[in-house]
Amino acid sequence: MKLPRRRFLHLATGAFAVPAVSRIAWAETYPSRPVRLIVGFPPGLAADIVARVVAQSLSERLGQNFIVENRPGASTNIATDVVVKAPADGYTLLFVTVPNAINATLYGDLHFNFIRDIAPVAGVDRSSFVMVVNPAFPAKTVPEFIAYAKANPGKIDMASNGIGTVTHLAGALFQSMSDVELVHVPYSGNFFTDLLSGKVQVVFSPLGGTIGYIKSNAVRALAVTGPTRSAILPNIPAMGEFIPGYESNLWDGIGAPKGTPVQIIDKLNNELRAVLADPKVKGRFADLGAVPMPMTVAEFGHHVANETARWGKVIGAAGIKLQ
């Protein structure tokens, strides 16, 4: 039986409308059960603390538990793989961090493509590193450090949390842009004991975990690595004051499995931006040396793509490879 054209178009339009209406209704009732937020670090680290602040605030706003689930290992790749394989329904989210952008270049055998397989949801926060030296080190400013390093190539030891980590790459970028040669000393644990004893001379350390050492004069801060000075350490210059264009930040955000309904992603983005505007959340972030990083979905997607490309160039230029 042939249907009149008008009748056919009416039925076809209805067929497409039903799924759209269903998705909208789904987003309106989301979340109807607990949501997992997968974090690629152990409990107690800065990223974990930030994730728990955000999860608690989302739980209060949306009336369902947002549960932080720690899946450390392989520089956040284990956590990412869990989310990539999860249903795209908004109930499994990834706490996105800088290593996600770095790993796209650093690891050649990943079973996922981060840009392709994780949908951006929202930015959360950003913070800087701080370049610190042992107090006995002769240089008291970045220009003095650069001059000393050029006069003593290969004689300054720079500690990091390991090959290809954010602390390593922040130092690698500094070396490239200042044309100095430092000896990289990777650590599997805390490097501060050796910095305090003078066994290593310089580190690029996350600001939040270094403030106490700076304020107690256990180390000397030469510069923060963000685009501007930090409100927490206003007397410490930004690296860009000496090396124009230098910038190395830690940042966090939220991602979801590809295919997650856009209505759910938009809802989460709106809620997260409201969370980041809360003075209490801003205060908790400030205690960690961080500031909110509210972004639209598109802005966060561009941010992740740009960071992936930028750190890929640093890794390539420095010839950094996992051993």
Residue 204 sits in a domain whose CATH number is 3.40.190.10
Domain boundary among 241, 261, 285: 241
- Interior CA angle at 107 toward 68 and 73, to 5°? 30
Taking the model in full, what pTM does it have?
Answer: 0.89
Domain-located, residue 253 = yes
Flag whether 18 is in a domain: no
* Structural domain ending residue among the three candidates 241, 266, 290: 241
Please report whether residue 297 resides in a domain: yes
Residues 236 and 146 both lie in one domain: yes
**Same domain for 76 and 209?**
no
The list of the chain residues with pLDDT below 50 reads 1-5, 8-9, 18, 20-21
Return left, alpha or beta for 303; rule: phi > 0 is left, psi -120 to 50 is alpha, else beta: alpha
Note the pLDDT of residue 98. Answer: 97
Based on the domain organization, do 146 and 98 belong to the same domain? Answer: no
**In a shared domain, residues 217 and 166:** yes
Three-state secondary structure call for residue 257: strand
Query: What does the angle CA 130 – CA 134 – CA 139 come to, to the nearest 5 degrees?
Result: 85
169 in the same domain as 97: no
Same domain, 43 and 116: yes
Q: Which residues contact residue 82 at a Cβ distance below 8 angstroms, ignoring those fewer than 6 apart? A: 38, 71, 92
Residue 153 corresponds to which amino acid? P
Residues 6+ apart with CB under 8 A from 81: 111, 112
Q: How many distinct structural domains can be found in the chain? A: 2
Give the whole-angstrom CA distance, residue 58 versus residue 240: 36
Last residue of a domain, one of 183, 215, 241: 241
Q: Which long-range contacts (CB under 8 A, 24 or more apart) does 114-117 make?
A: 114/80, 114/304, 114/308, 115/304, 115/305, 115/308, 116/258, 117/84, 117/257, 117/258
- 299 inside domain: yes
For residue 268, give the CATH number of its domain.
3.40.190.150
Asked whether residue 178 is domain-assigned, the answer is yes
Query: What does the pLDDT look like over 21-80, one tens digit per residue?
Result: 455 566 678 999 999 999 999 999 999 999 999 999 999 999 999 999 999 999 999 999
Helix (H) or strand (E) holding 38: strand 35-39
Given a contact cutoff of 8 angstroms between Cβ atoms, the answer to whether 252 and 245 are in contact is no
Please state the separation of Cα 45 from the chain's center in Å: 13
Distances in whole angstroms, Cα of residue 24 to Cα of each of 27, 87, 119, 154, 264: 5, 18, 18, 60, 9
Residues 87 and 142 in one domain: no
3-class state of residue 287 by DSSP: helix
**3-state DSSP: the chain helix, strand, coil percent, rounded to 5?**
45, 20, 35
Domain identity same for 150 and 231: yes
27 within domain boundaries: no
Pairing between β-strand 118-133 and β-strand 290-292 as defined by DSSP bridges = antiparallel
The 3-state DSSP class for residue 110 equals: coil
Q: What is the pLDDT of residue 18?
A: 47
Domain span at residue 189 reads 128-241
Same domain, 237 and 135: yes
Peptide bond preceding 31 in cis form (omega within 30 of 0): yes
- The pLDDT of residue 190: 86
Same-domain check for residues 180 and 201: yes
Tell me the DSSP string of 270-284: HHHHHHHT-HHHHHH
Let me know whether 96 and 149 are in one domain. Answer: no
75 and 210 in a single domain? The answer is no
Number of Cβ atoms within 10 Å of the Cβ of 254: 24
Question: Is 284 part of any domain?
Answer: yes
* Residue 20 domain-assigned (yes or no): no
